Amino acid sequence: MTITLDNLHLRVGDFELRADFQIEAGHKIALLGPSGGGKSTLLSALAGFTDPVGGRILHGDTDITNLPPAKRPVTLLFQDHNLFPHLTAEQNIGLGVKPNLKLSASQKQTVREALARVGLQGHGTKRPSELSGGQQQRVAIARALLRDKPVLLLDEPFAALGPALKHEMLDLVAEITAASNTTLLMVTHQPEDAHYLADQTVLIAEGVANAPVDTKTLFANPPAVLQRYLGS
Amino acid sequence: MARSSQPLSLTRALAGGGALALLLALTLGTVGAVWSKASFQAGLGPADWAAIRFTISQALVSATLSVVLAIPTARALARRRFRGRQLMVSLLGAPFILPGIVAVLGIVAVWGRTGYVSTLIGTPLNIYGYSGVVLAHVFFNLPLATRFILQGWLSIPSEHFRLTAQLGMTTGEVNHLLERPMLRAVVPGAFLLIFLLCITSFAVALALGGGPRATTVELAIYQALRFDFDLSKAALLAMIQFALCTATAAATLWIAAPQGFAVGMDRPARRWDGKSRRHVLTDQILLLTVGLFLFVPLLSILLKGAPNLLMLPPQVWPALGNSVAIAITSAFCAILLSLALSALIVSLTARWKRSAQLLEIIGFLSLAASPFVIGTGLFIMLNPVVDPFKAALPITIAVNAVMSLPFALRVILPAMSRAEHFYGRLGNSLGMTGWTRFRLAIWPRLKRPVGFAAGLSAALSMGDLGVIALFAPPDMATLPLTMYRLMTSYQMAAASGVALLLIATSLALFWAFDKGGRLDHHIG
């Protein structure tokens, strides 16, 4: 279903951001722009962590502007702290099935399958501190997989990883979202990430989130705002 | 190993070694002196056993009540945002530097025989004895416990609360998943620290305790020396106090005491749990009750003190002079000791990590030292040489400097360690050495924490009513002692005027030192 940002107006302290566009289902969209430009704020508003001062957010025809985070059709992965340090990988994933972790046998099986799907067979009983940075984010992806929400939001969860590992993770995300036709929105300040994964790009700069544009078209003929950002 | 940190220079070794020797002489040396005089054959009388029982029992009850009340209070402060929240959190730091005797006056004004509560319910309450001591200790330590535990709450990453919201967890599930593990880590340390503070607190026991059923060991030492002139009894009691404190301190170290004395409070994470009416209402009632419990006594000191400020008895002024002199001198001593010790610890860390850690522990151990054990030891050591009662001021300065050392060290050591780590290397690479290196590379980074630590130390010393009560001749006093003497002669109006003067001076000293550290400050 389409996500509609209807005259959305966000304010955090002195910072303001406006967005007025639609996101069609199934696209992979990069949110590109300078740091401090409002990319994370926009994701935070979609996920229900930042209340807009004006406008609405619609999912299909349903107004989700005031829904609590858990009732929204989205999963947000943060840059870090996606896992609880005192719970094992399996438990962290299990939270996506049942927040009180009282899982039935078949639910436990589902958790193990998700673990295998992100390539972490046999790591289920490890705690986050025993996993590498990339493995930790794989656990978070596995939980997102089980939550099975129509929209996945990535707030630079792979920013701390090296280039090869980052591409590996983006491939994993691409594979998972393609299988379930999930809409993907990911924050980045690197144009090559947009080229690598995203068919559309939302340019966020100077207080405005612009409507998504085909990534190739955008870079072939960059508007003034993008030129200023790229420094070309 | 890379020579990343400053090599251990002779100056550093001498200054640090001297500070260490002085510290050990004052803490362990005095214990040795006490040991030599303690007569163990006489054994403990029933009154001594009663004092031990009372000390432990009131400390257990006070620490338990403080922590049990602090947990929901800290939770309410962590998950609610309201006007005045920041003010409330800041004021929670106030009892820490509030002179003990002033707090007692405020508590008597609220809970005493003719206090607000007695007037309100129409029956005079008796505040002296067990309940009064516990009440005063909770008044002091509930805020401290709340700040420690609130620190724990604020250390939970805000992403974790977002995550629980995204996963749709209930308030109970959030409690189970996030809050209980944090409390398990934070609460035991907070409990033991408060237990220790309740064992060593003197002003409260002196003013509200006493008699066969409410005498602490600390108070019994004071009485043995001051009224019975029984040195061997005092020494025996001092050994018991030392054992109690050391055991508690060892337990505190073992489970790791919470960090964060007077740490600035962060913006709280936004929360999505605890939104039901029941939770909101309980939080509101709780915060209001705790707020009244803590702030009405403080307010009463202001209200009752202000009209008497212009009619202070004449003996106040020399006492004020003594107090300010003690506070400033002991603050300087505490800072010099902390700087010398920190420098030694930082240089040792690179090569002998274990000895550096040991030094750090020794620096903090004086938290467990009882001022009366130190005082008794100094009394025994000085008695053959000079009349200890004539040396009241220097003894008080020395004891106060040692007592505030753990707090000063806690502020200065991390700052020096950071400054050395980041700018010491830069200084080395530019060929700076000795005094130039300290002045240009290290000191600018230390000025602010040193100013804060000096202010804290001066305020603590200004309000202290400890060894001075033991040694002061009748014609000599500090401000807290003058206040206590006025209170025991039922001159409450005059005492409340002195209380206000005492608070104002403490705050002024704290402000002046803290401000001094920020002058000419170009560090973000």
Distance, in Å, from the CA atom of B487 to the CA atom of B443, rounded to the nearest integer, reads 45
Angle at alpha carbon of residue A56, lines to A55 and A59, rounded to 5°: 160
Residue B470 pLDDT class (50, 70, 90 cuts): confident
Fold that domain B10-35+45-304+314-518 belongs to in CATH: MetI-like fold (1.10.3720)
DSSP conformational letter for A52: -
* Residue B171 tokens, joined: 């308030």
Interface check for B178 against chain A (CB to CB < 8 A): the answer is: yes
Residues of B in contact with A47 (CB under 8 A): 162, 166
Is A49 in Cβ contact with B162 (below 8 Å)? yes
Rounded Cα distance, A35 and B202, in Å = 55
Of B481 and B257, the structure prediction assigns the larger pLDDT to B481
Nearest CA in chain B to A79: B159
Q: Phi first, then psi: give them for residue B170, nearest 5 degrees.
A: -80, 170
> Given pLDDT bands bounded at 50, 70 and 90, which one contains residue B106?
very high
Instruction: Select the more confidently predicted residue: A73 or B229.
Output: A73
Q: Smallest Cβ distance to B168: which of A49, A70, A76?
A: A70
C-alpha A112/C-alpha A90 separation (Å) is: 7
pLDDT at B440: 80
Residue B437 and residue B40: Cα distance in Å, rounded? 54
Q: Which of B160, B168, B170 sits opposite A84 (nearest CB)?
A: B160
* CB neighbour list of residue B246: distance below 8 Å, 6 or more residues apart: B368
Local structure of residue A70 (DSSP, 8 states): G
B-contacting residues in A 163-222 (Cβ below 8 Å) = none
Nearest chain B alpha carbon to A87: B177
How near does any CA of chain A get to the CA of B79, in Å?
A: 15
| A98 interface with B at CB cutoff 8 Å | no
Looking at the complex, does the CB of residue B159 fall below 8 Å from at least one CB of chain A? yes
Residue B258: the pLDDT is 47
CA distance B416 to chain A (A): 30
Distance CA A84, CA B442 (A): 38
Q: Could you tell me the two tokens for A34? A: 């300078």
Q: Is the overall model pTM greater than 0.80, yes or no?
A: yes
| Contact present, A208 and A17 (Cβ < 8 Å) | yes
**Band of pLDDT at residue B265, cut at 50, 70 and 90:** very low
For the record, the structure tokens of A42 come out as 């926009």
Q: What pLDDT, in 10s, does the model give residues B317-364? A: 999 999 999 999 999 999 999 999 998 888 888 778 788 888 888 887
Q: Is B386 helix (H, G, I), strand (E, B) or coil?
A: coil
Nearest 5°: the CA angle A93, A97, A101 is 75
Higher per-residue confidence, B268 vs A142: A142
Q: How far is B105 from chain A (nearest CA, A)?
A: 44
Q: A81, B169: Cβ pair inside 8 Å?
A: no
What is the three-state SS of B305-366? Answer: HHHHHHHCCCCHHHHHHHHHHHHHHHHHHHHHHHHHHHHHHHHHHHHCHHHHHHHHHHHHHC
Helix (H, G, I), strand (E, B) or coil at B193: helix
Picking from B157, B165, B178, the nearest residue to A69 by CB comes out as: B165
Report, as an integer, the average pLDDT of A160-178.
89
**What span, in angstroms and rounded, lies between the C-alpha atoms of B99 and B4?**
44
pLDDT-derived band at B184 (thresholds 50, 70, 90) equals confident
Say yes or no for a CB contact (<8 Å) between B173 and A100.
yes
pLDDT at B11 over 50: yes
The token pair at A181 is 């036709």
Which residue's entry shows tokens 């896992």? Answer: A83
Domain coordinates in residue numbering, chain B = 10-35+45-304+314-518
* Cross-chain CB nearest to A47 (options B157, B164, B166): B166
Q: What are phi and psi of B153, to 5 degrees?
A: -65, -45
User: Which of these, A164, A112, A151, lies nearest to A29 by C-alpha position?
Assistant: A151
Interval A201-227: pLDDT, tens: 999 988 999 999 999 999 998 888 888
Contact, B416 vs B442, CB < 8 A?
A: yes
Dihedral in degrees, nearest 10, Cα atoms B361, B157, B76, B172: -110
Q: Is A231 on the interface with B (CB under 8 A)?
A: no
Question: Quick one: tokens of B119?
Answer: 């007037």
User: Is B266 a residue whose pLDDT tops 70?
Assistant: no
Pick the residue of A51, A82, A84 with the most B CBs within 10 A to test the interface with B by mutation: A84
Instruction: Enter the DSSP assignment of B167.
Output: T
CB contact under 8 A, A49 and B160: no
Chain B residues near residue A49 by CB distance under 8 angstroms: 162, 165, 270
SS3 B243: helix
CB A45 within 8 A of CB A57: yes
How far away is chain B from the Cα of A98, in angstroms, using its nearest Cα?
A: 8
A71 close to B (CB below 8 A):
yes
Q: Which residues of A touch B176 (CB under 8 A)?
A: 100
- Determine whether the interchain pair A99/B162 forms a contact, defined as Cβ–Cβ distance below 8 Å: no
Helix axes B10-24, B316-351, angle to 10 degrees: 130
Residues from chain A that touch B180, judged by Cβ atoms under 8 A, are none
When pLDDT is cut at 50, 70 and 90, the band that residue B232 belongs to is confident
Contact A68 B159 (CB under 8 A): no
Strand A15-23 relative to strand A200-205, pairing: unpaired
Could you give the CA distance from residue B294 to residue B77 in angstroms, rounded to a whole number?
15
Q: Is pLDDT at B47 greater than 70 in this prediction?
A: yes
Contact between B162 and A96 using a beta-carbon 8 Å cutoff: no
What is the DSSP secondary structure assignment for residue A71, as one 8-state letter? G
Q: Is A207 left (phi over 0), alpha (psi -120 to 50) or beta?
A: left
In chain A, what residues touch B162 (CB-CB under 8 Å)? 47, 49, 69, 76, 78
With beta carbons less than 8 A apart as the criterion, state whether A185 and A218 touch. Answer: no
Burial annotation B181-193 (CB, 10 A radius, 16+ → b, else e): bbbeebbbbbbbb
Encoded tokens for B358: 């040991």
Residues of chain B found within 8 Å of residue A64, distances taken between Cβ atoms? none
Of A70, A81, A100, the CB nearest to B159: A81
* Residue B273, phi-psi category: left (phi > 0), alpha (psi -120 to 50), beta (remainder): beta
- Asked if A82's CB is within 8 angstroms of B157's CB, the reply is no
Residues 19-38 of A with CB under 8 A from B: none
Largest CA distance in chain B: 76
Which A residues in the span 43-62 are in contact with B, Cβ-Cβ below 8 Å? 47-49
Chain A contact for B237 (CB, 8 A cutoff): no
Q: What tens digit of pLDDT does each residue of B302-322 get?
A: 999 999 888 888 889 999 999
Task: Establish if B166 touches chain A: CB-CB under 8 angstroms.
Answer: yes
Statement: residue B208 has pLDDT above 80: yes
180-209 in chain B: CB under 8 A from chain A: 181
Query: What integer is the mean pLDDT of B465-469?
Result: 86
Q: Centre a 10 Å sphere on the Cβ of residue B313 and count the other Cβ atoms it contains.
A: 15
Give the C-alpha separation, B340 to B343, whole Å. 5
**Shortest CA distance from B185: residue in chain A:** A86
DSSP letter (8 states) at residue B52? H
Give B431's pLDDT tier (boundaries 50, 70, 90).
confident
Residue type, A105: A
Helix (H) or strand (E) holding A171: helix A163-180
Residue B432 near residue B441 (C-beta atoms within 8 A): yes
Nearest CA in chain B to A73: B166
Question: B224-248 burial, b if ≥16 CB within 10 A, otherwise e?
Answer: bbeeeeebebbbbbbbbbbebbeeb
Phi-psi sector, B481: left (phi>0), alpha (psi -120 to 50), beta: alpha
Instruction: Kindly state whether A80 is in contact with chain B, defined as any CB-CB distance less than 8 angstroms.
Output: yes
CB pairs under 8 A between A and B: 52
Give how far the C-alpha of residue A71 lies from the chain's centroid of Cα atoms, to the nearest Å.
Answer: 16
Residue B3 at interface with chain A, using a CB cutoff of 8 Å: no
> For residue B173, what is the nearest residue in chain A, using CA coordinates?
A100
Contact status of A70 with chain B (Cβ, < 8 Å): yes
**Bridge partners (DSSP) listed for residue A30:** A186, A201
Which member of B166, B176, B178 has the closest CB to residue A69?
B166
Cα dihedral value B412, B416, B419, B422, nearest 10:
-130
With residue A101 as reference, give the H or E element that holds it.
none
- How long, in residues, is chain B? 524
Per-residue pLDDT at B300:
92
Phi, psi (degrees; rounded to nearest 5) at B415: -65, -40
Q: Which residues of B touch A84 (CB under 8 A)?
A: 160, 163, 177-178
For residue B422, the distance in angstroms to the closest alpha carbon of chain A comes to: 23
Q: Considering CB atoms only, which of A70, A75, A78 is closest to B165? A: A70
- Chain A residue numbers with beta carbons less than 8 Å from the beta carbon of B164 are 99
- Locate the DSSP E strands across B363-423: none
For residue B339, what are the contacts with CB-CB under 8 A and spacing of at least 6?
B412, B416, B446, B450
